[in-house]
Amino acid sequence: MSRNNESRQSRIRNFSIIAHIDHGKSTLADRILEETAALTKREMKEQMLDAMDLERERGITIKLNAVQLTYKADDGNEYIFHLIDTPGHVDFSYEVSRSLAACEGALLIVDAAQGIEAQTLANVYLAIENDLEIIPVINKIDLPSAEPERVRKEVEDVIGLDASDAVLASAKAGIGIRDILEQIVKKVPAPAGDPEAPLKALIFDSVYDSYRGVITYIRIVEGSVKVGDKIKMMATDKTFEVAELGVFTPKPVAKDELTVGDVGFLTASIKNVSDTRVGDTITSAEKPADEPLPGYRRMNPMVYCGLYPIDSSQYNDLREALERLELNDSSLQYEPETSDALGFGFRCGFLGLLHMEIIQERIEREFNIDLITTAPSVIYHVQRTNGDIEQVDNPSKMPDKKDIDTIEEPFVKATIMTPNDYVGQVMELCQKKRGDFIDMVYLNENRVNVIYHLPLSEIVYDFFDQLKSQTKGYASLDYEFLGYKPSNLVKMDILLNGEKVDALSVIVHRDFAYERGKAIVEKLKELIPRQQFEVPVQAALGQKVIARSTIKALRKNVLAKCYGGDISRKRKLLEKQKEGKKRMKTVGKVEVPQEAFMAVLRMDQDK
């Protein structure tokens, strides 16, 4: 090893940023990019790292990014920083863990007014598991409600980190940025690893590019890789030839070689992202490593729903959209299904609800397809009376009651972090959602972790919204899969105008069937506009109707307003009305808006 390379390796710092949504991660990343002059101000799009519109709107990062920066430190040396961005939501915790595994350090951003949230905590623990050096940063100290000392103490009490050196910062106002960069130099270790050893590169993300195929984001842990090298994916055993290597500055810059400690990208004419699974190890095909890097897991969808085009002629467009999205998202699964009410569509599997909403929005926005999304469902394990075991991911496919011996549903361990004042509300909510109380841990005098075992289906419904509203937004949630347990579940059908609508069927616990049936029919009455005739809405268990509401007939919609000679306005109103109708699905004779198919999710929101 040349002295030169050795000294280069010692000047590399790989880190990511851990923060709760809204705690200012993207703004801080922008400031760091500015401070290291990776971008001039003019080049700087606000919040550079969040590339997709959707991400920016929701204020969350979905896809990881890795940026190489150079920083001239106070010690006079120039350092190479790799900033690896991580998603900030519970659905993506596996991706977070892999991107953390690509780092030696992490900035822990905590909002000076709000303190630590459950999700942040979960990610800090992931960082600790990956042996990262954690640098606490107390952000938004310029807010009037900021309490940096309280938050500093909280970081020490709750996580047990030494926060005496925590940087007090305001990314928005540009306060403390230089301190953060100096701490990265001083505290984050340089990457270890032997450049002469067989190649081990960790894949922490991949995106599909229509010209170059899959672009994998990698961290070289051992060895080095050159353009033209034959490489092997250790989980899938597939081999490729390296076409391009490079780093992002944040513009892509080609390199001939990446070596230990480097974070960059690799392309190799890979056609499908499922060949480059996040967490997998790339090694040399000629001189393979004995063992892959630890921690690889295949991600399985937890939540399923049906996606249908409102305009049935867009079925093929929808299939193409899913194909395109799948190239970039190996955790998205889909297969064709048909519904009597909705026609041809797809049953899709997602990591969680947010993942589902993001995919749905991307299809609508990027591919211009108006969608009907059915209420999400978990996978049920059904044992038939004849002994067969079936996995059911669509309530309307649930076998007849007489053929069912038992139904098992997935349970999760939910950790809810809440201020002391709301423990009562949180527990009440968990009980209502069929939870089993497991534990309650005081993190400090006013923060509590409440731990419950809950059916995943309850979380999928509206648990999160309810939790937020019951605790004025203060509680936060993290959950992990536990396993399957038998439950007393039944299928509930919904009838519109006397006709069963398969896309509205739900699986409910028998004890809650009446209550939920009543809520659903009431909500549907609210969501479905009046038609030219009266429409009964019923909820039924088998043949037995357990709840009913009636959508009254439309009686008057004529514009009886004085518009003077403003004809354009009248036209616009009519056009808008017509447009609204096009976004509805005709089920039988009833025009049903998109939201109605998600009615089960929206039931309790107004209460």
Partner 1 sequence: MIKGAYVHIPFCEHICYYCDFNKVFIQKQPVDDYLNALDKEISEGLSRAESDLETVFIGGGTPTALDNQQFHKLLKIIDRHLITPKIKEYTIEANPENLNETKFKLMKDYGVTRLSLGVQTFQNDLLKEIGRPHSCDDVIDIFQEARLSGFDNISIDLMFGLPNQTEKMLKESIEKAMILEPDHISIYSLQVEPKTIFYNRMKKGKLHLPGQDVEANMYELVISELDKHGYIHYEISNFAKKGFESRHNLLYWSNEQYFGFGAGSHGYVQNSRVVNAGPVKNYIQLVEETGSGQFASHTVTRKEKIEEELFLGLRKLSGVKKKRFYEKFHCQINDLYGEEIERLKQQGLLYEDEEKIALTRKGVFLGNSVFEAFLA
Annotated binding site: 22-27, 139-142
Reading the block at residue 93, the tokens are 């915790």
Name which position in 530, 583, 588, 595 contacts partner 1 (CB under 8 A). 530
| 566 forms part of the interface with partner 1 (CB under 8 A) | yes
**Separation of CA 595 from chain center:** 21
Instruction: Tell me if 582 contacts partner 1 by CB under 8 A.
Output: no
CB 561 within 8 A of CB 542: no
CA separation for the pair 502, 514 (Å, rounded): 19
Give the whole-angstrom CA distance, residue 156 versus residue 585.
54
Q: Which of 599, 582, 592 is nearest to 531 (CA)?
A: 592
Q: Binding to partner 1 by residue 544, rule CB under 8 A?
A: no
Binding residues for GTP are 22-27, 139-142
Residue 558 binds to partner 1 (criterion: CB under 8 A):
yes
Distance CA 585, CA 571 (A): 24
- Say whether residue 565 binds partner 1 (CB under 8 A): yes
CB 530 to partner 1: min, Å: 7
Stretch that binds partner 1, among 269-277, 335-343, 353-361, 559-567 (CB under 8 A): 559-567
Which of 424, 439, 581, 586 touches partner 1 by CB under 8 A? 581
578 binds partner 1 (CB under 8 A): yes
Note whether 510 binds partner 1 by CB under 8 A. no
Give the list of residues 6+ apart from residue 544 with CB closer than 8 angstroms, or none: none
> C-beta of 114: minimal distance to partner 1 in Å?
28
Question: Residues with Cβ < 8 Å from 360, sequence gap 6 or more?
Answer: 307, 371, 373
- Pair 102, 219: CB distance under 8 Å: yes
Taking the C-alpha atoms of residue 195 and residue 172, their distance in angstroms, rounded to an integer, is 40
- Cβ proximity to partner 1, 544 vs 567, nearer residue: 567
Q: Kindly tell me which residue out of 368, 385, 577, 605 binds partner 1, with binding defined by CB under 8 A.
A: 577
Q: Give the one residue of 567, 584, 596, 602 binding partner 1; rule: CB under 8 A.
A: 567
Report in angstroms how near the CB of residue 313 gets to partner 1 at its nearest.
17
Interface pick for partner 1 out of 365, 483, 552, 586 (rule CB under 8 A): 552
Distances (CA, A) of 306 to 91, 108, 119, 375: 19, 38, 28, 8
- Please tell me whether residue 606 binds partner 1 under the rule CB under 8 A: no
Q: Cβ closer to partner 1: 485 or 570?
A: 570
| Size of interface with partner 1, in residues (CB under 8 A) | 24
Whole-angstrom distance, CA of residue 12 vs CA of residue 263: 10
Considering only the stretches 178-186, 414-422, 427-435, 571-579, report the one whose residues sit in contact with partner 1 under the rule CB under 8 A: 571-579
Specify burial of residue 545 (Cβ count, 10 A radius: 0-12, 13-18, 19+). Answer: middle
Are 325 and 362 spatial neighbours (Cβ–Cβ below 8 Å)? yes
Q: Is 572 a residue that touches partner 1 (CB under 8 A)? A: no
Decide if residue 554 touches partner 1 (CB under 8 A): yes
Nearest distance from C-beta of residue 59 to partner 1, angstroms? 25
Binding site for partner 1 (CB under 8 A): 530, 532, 552, 554-562, 564-568, 570-571, 574-575, 577-578, 581
